[in-house]
Structure formats: C-alpha cells, structure tokens
Amino acid sequence: MQTIAFIALTPRMQEAAREILRAEHPDVLLAEGLMDGAADTARALADRGVEVVISRGATARRVQDALPDLSVVDISTSSLDLLTALHKARERARRVAVVAFPPMSDNAVELGRMLGAQVDVVEWETQEGIVPALLAARERGADMVVGGYIMALYAARLGIPCQPVEPSPASILAAVREAKRIAHGRSVEKAKNSLLRAVLTSTDNGIVAVDRAGRVTVCNPVAGRLLRLTESDALGRPVDEVWPRSGLERVLSAGRPETARIERVFDQELLCGTLPLTVRGETVGAVATIHDAQKIRKLEATLRLRGLASGHVATARLEDAHGESPALAHAVAMARDYARTGDTVLLHGETGTGKELFAQGIHNASPRRAGPFVAVNCAALPGQLLESELFGYVPGAFTGASQKGRPGLFELAHGGTIFLDEIAEMEPGTQGKLLRVLQERKVMRLGSDQVIPVDVRAVAATNRDLGALVAEGRFRADLYYRLNVLRLRLPPLRARSGDVPGLAARFLDQASGRPGRFQLSGGALRALAAHPWPGNVRELQNVMARVAATHRGRTVDEALVRELLDEAPALREGHGEQGGGAGFPGPAGGAGTGNAGSAGGAAPGSGPGSAGGLRAAERARLEDALSRARGRVGEAAALLGVSRSTLWRRMRALGLEKN
C-alpha cells in the first residue's frame, strides 16, 4: 500500500516531481492541490491509507492544520532555490521584492546583496494577507515580486510580474527521504501499538491506565468486564468517574506504587495494584492491574493440586544442544525422529555428553510434551529405596514408610515420560520389576496386591556397554532388549572439537552473567581444543565457570586455561567409564578397560603401578573425602569434583557403601 503522497501546487510542479521521482521513488503518489484544495486532496488520500504528505509552504501548513493526525513534510526552500529565483528576477527587473511566507523569505536581503541588487521583503502569514502584501511591494517600487506559487497566482491576477521560487530536485528528494523516514517510524510505532493492543486484549488481567491529568487512556476488555463498562465509555474520561476507588489519582500525586489490595466492586472482590509511569523521573501517568480474586483462589488451588500430583517439568529442548558438528547434528536429527514415536529410547553416551538434555528434548518434541517429565537416577539410591521411589508403596509397607503411603514415579509420570538415568547401575531384583512394568504398563505399589494402569514412555540412559554387561550376567537380557528399541549414541566432546570454541564462549557468558565480558585468546582456544575432555561438555562448563570466578582481565590467555585444566581432579567422570573408566577400578575390582575405540582409553592394567595399587590409592582418596564430609556423599562428591551418582558407583565398586 502506498503511504506517501506528494501534493504539488501547480501542474508544472507536479510534472517536475514526476520526472524527479520516477527513477528512485516510484511508490510516491502524485496529486495536485493548493491551500484548502490541498487539504481536501489530502483528506481523500488519507482515506486511501496515505499517512505522510509532502507539500510546500502555506499549503503544507494548511494541510497539517486540517488533518492533525497526518504527518506533513514541508519542502524546504534552500538558499540556492531563492538565489536562483532572485537571479532570474534581477535579469528582468531593476527592483525586486520577495513577497513570501516565512521561512522562504529568510536571508533574502543578504542574497540580493550577493547579486548586487537591492531586495525588499514583504512577508504574509495567511492567505488573506497575500494581496495587501503584493500591493505594499508595488507601492514601495518593486518591478517584480519573488515568492511561492500561491503568491504567484495572486500576482498574476493583479498584473504584477512574478518569478516563482521553484523547488530544486535536491529539495524534493530530501523531502521524500524525510517522508520515508517518518513513514517507517509510523510503521514501527503502529506495529508496537498493535502488539500492545494484542497483549492488552489477550491478557487475563484487567488493565486501566491514565495520563498525567487522570484521564483514562487504556481500558482493556477484561477491565471493562470487571468494571462493567465499555472501552468507549471509559476512554478520555476522568478516572474518578469511571472507577472512583481505583487509587490512580493518589499514585499520580505521590508518584509511588501501591501494593495489591482487595476492593469490592459490585458483587465481586477484585485484587488491585497500582504503579506510576515515569519518564526521566517525571510521573506522566499511572496504571492499575485488576484481577478477579475468586478466580485467583481457584487457580492457586489447581496449581497446588497439580504440584502435588506431578511437579515434574522438562525445561530443555533439542534446540539447546548447541554446536555445528555433523555428529551432534546427526544425534539431534535422530532424536527428533524418535520423539515422534512412542517407543522406548536408550541413550548411550559418556558422562557429561548431555543425556538428560536429550531426554528432556525428546519429551518436549513428542506428543507427550504436555504431560509430566519424571527423572530418576538409578545409581543414587539402594535397591529397595529405588523400588519404593519407582513403584510407590502403601501405608506400613516397610519400616519408616509414610503412614499415608506414596505414589511411585511411574504413577506421577502417567501421560508423560519417565527418564531412567544410569540404568546400568540398577540392581538385578529391581531390573525384573521394572521389566514387568514396561511390558504390562501396570504398576503395583510395594505392600499392595492391586495393579494401577500407567501410560508412560520410558527413556533410559547409560554410559556403559549394556551388551557387555548382559554377556557378563550383570544386566538382564530381557530388560536390555526391552530398553534397546530406539538407540541413540551421543558423541563425546572430543569427537566434535570444532564445537569447543562456541561452547566455551557461551559458558563463559553464562558464568559471568555479562555477555562479552571475557575473550578467549587464540592460545586459549588451542589449549581447549587439544584437551581430551574426559568429562565432556560438563567438564568444559566447569572449567569456564572457574575462569569466570578467578579471572579479572578481559582476555583469557593460554596459561590460565592450561593451569585450570591441570588442576582437574584425579577422579574424573572420564571417557573410559564403560568398563570402569581409564585409570579407574572397574566394578569387579580390576583396572578400567576404557571405552572401546575412544581416544584416551587405557588398556587394562596400564599406567603406573599395578591394578591393585591403583585400587588402593583410589579407595584411600574416597575414604579421605568421605571422612572430611562426615559421611555425607553429596559433600564428598563436591570435594572430589564429580557427581553424586559417580561417587556412588565408585563406592559400590570399592565396597565402601557398606562402611
């Protein structure tokens, strides 16, 4: 839609504008009009959607006075335009007078001196003053007058020679550029107003706003319904007539907000809050928000009930898996494909590769996204306690059980997804009960003989080779095949080293709370790229957190990065944990077998000392940490720089969980 129009004062000016605008600005409408006629033309153009009008002098002012909501650009008369007209007039007459509407007459005397001519100036303000001004110029001895198109018409009727001041192409183009800038600004403002209008209309809150005079400027539909009036009834009226007890006038005078209070309006209780609107420290208005108190009470009760029933929400999405590597892109694409199905997903990846992020992302990309997402770490709890968490229990099911009983996580996940993290650490007895639930889609609470149907999708995760554990007799084969329907292997960070710089910068920004606060040097990036990252993305995030906590300058150099990498704890959740991890004792007590085919994995028994020596050293290290933490596993894990679940696994492997 064409939103800019050029109203020429004469056919000659219109034709000149057409030639000037044809190449660069063909979208500008061209019309003709003078004074009141131009105002009528502009009114018709506004009805067609025109928002900005370009005209000149008194005609531009007349259009603006007639249509105050229209933006009007006045074609300025440059000194060069006036000088050109004076030069032409000087060639035809001895004495020249400029009879013009200000500011066209500005600098006329000085420009005349430049031409060696005496120039008289007679100004007029309204159309009625043009004839007296022309007569005055003639009486003062002018042989020719110079001015705008309107003055030229009157001069022709009086028989007075006239030289019109023609707008130059540069002046016309400058006016068009200004008009387009204004049109763009109006478009942006209109979009903002439309957005604001949509927000005000769609919100469940009633909103009433007033200007500094206390007159209503906003009354959205919810406020109208609660106050039982229409928007047209409220707008422009003093707020004390519309809503006498709003408190907005107090806020305007005091400039301070008022906390929420209960007001009775008609037969309903309303929760009201008021806030001053300030610009550069000056109160320019106030706004009140209105809520139906009864509706809030019902909503609170619903939320409390829902919180007790679930309280489990997936916040991560697959888009949160940041990186450009083909390996990651492939994993994300497969996860999207899996999300569309309802089958069980088995996530396999080293510690710190983002297994829970992918689990949450699959849930949020699935048809179950509106349901709960319940996560449980199978390594964090002993067998019987894990069973009670997964399946629930009835009152008195075991010593210490709640007298009210408790639903299990499978029940809480009904209609959604349950995430079984570190599934390989589940004890054999619990594995059998989990298999039955996955097969039958029914759960039986501990101590009960009643079955409860559940509609749950299972997503399991592990950093160990379940197939090898099945071969060793340490994981049920039937459960393995039940879980291993859709298998997704997550790439370790060393397999996507090209993502390290971007991830490092992102984690630095997150840790500092100020994007751009730190800059990683080339040497620092090379050091990060060369690191094997046994802890994967989690380790990288931790290193960047330490950088943000300890570094004071802007540029992070290589020396600092290497120092922090060297300080990494000896107990790593490393990339060799499928068989216990490179350099760590395996579950059976031997040295770790490493991750088959992965960089950094150690051969059995490799490294300094024997496997038994490594086991003894590791046991001493864990016992020391547990002693310092007074037996609290969470604190000991923090001292060692590993997760709680990893420490539980090491304790179980070393026989420390009984101590």
**392: phi then psi, degrees, rounded to nearest 5:** 80, 180
pLDDT bucket at 321, cuts 50 / 70 / 90: very high
pLDDT at 586: 33
Give the range among 104-113, 494-503, 591-600 with minimum mean pLDDT: 591-600
Q: How far apart are CA 305 and CA 613, in angstroms?
A: 55
Nearest one of 17, 608, 576 to 351, comparing CA atoms: 576
Helices (H) and strands (E) in the chain — how many of each?
A: 27, 24
More confident residue, 469 or 81: 469
Question: What is the rounded end-to-end Cα distance, in angstroms, of the chain?
Answer: 80
Q: What would the pLDDT profile of 432-490 be if each residue is shown by its tens digit?
A: 999 999 999 999 888 888 888 889 999 999 999 999 999 999 999 999 999 999 999 99
Given a cut of 50, whether residue 523 has pLDDT beyond it is yes
Q: How far apart are CA 309 and CA 301, in angstroms?
A: 12
In sequence order, the 6+-apart residues with CB closer than 8 A to the CB of 397 are 388, 405, 445, 446, 447, 448
User: Contact 558/523 with Cβ under 8 angstroms?
Assistant: yes
- Beta partners for residue 162, in sequence order: 145
Q: What would the pLDDT profile of 585-637 be if each residue is shown by its tens digit?
A: 333 333 333 333 333 333 333 333 444 556 777 787 888 888 878 888 878 87
Q: How far apart are CA 232 and CA 121, in angstroms?
A: 52
> Looking at residues 384-400, what average pLDDT do you find?
78
Ordered by start, the domain boundaries in the chain are 4-75+171-183, 79-166, 203-296, 318-489, 493-566, 612-659
Give the range among 206-215, 254-263, 346-355 with minimum mean pLDDT: 254-263
Half-sphere exposure of 73 (CA within 13 A, CB side): 23
pLDDT bucket at 160, cuts 50 / 70 / 90: very high
Tokens encoding 378: 């199978």
Q: What would the pLDDT profile of 333-377 be if each residue is shown by its tens digit?
A: 999 999 999 999 999 999 899 999 999 999 999 999 988 899 999
pLDDT at 353: 92
pLDDT at 70: 92
C-alpha 642: how far from chain center: 33
Residue 488, Cβ density class (10 Å: 0-12 exposed, 13-18 middle, ≥19 buried):
buried
User: Contact 616/606 with Cβ under 8 angstroms?
Assistant: no
More confident residue, 148 or 435: 435
pLDDT at 400: 59
Its CATH class, for the domain covering 318-489, is alpha beta
- Report whether CATH 1.10.8.60 matches the domain 493-566: yes
Q: How far apart are CA 146 and CA 428, in angstroms?
A: 105
- At the fourth CATH level, the homologous superfamily of domain 4-75+171-183 is Response regulator (3.40.50.2300)
Its CATH class, for the domain covering 203-296, is alpha beta
Q: Supply the angle between the helices 500-512 and 522-530 in degrees, to the nearest 10.
A: 110
79-166 and 493-566 share one fold:
no
Q: What would the pLDDT profile of 127-138 be if each residue is shown by its tens digit?
A: 788 899 999 999
* Average confidence score pLDDT of the chain: 83
**452: phi then psi, degrees, rounded to nearest 5:** -120, 120
pLDDT at 346: 96
Residue type at 585?
Answer: P
* CATH code of the domain made up of 79-166: 3.40.50.10660
pLDDT at 580: 33
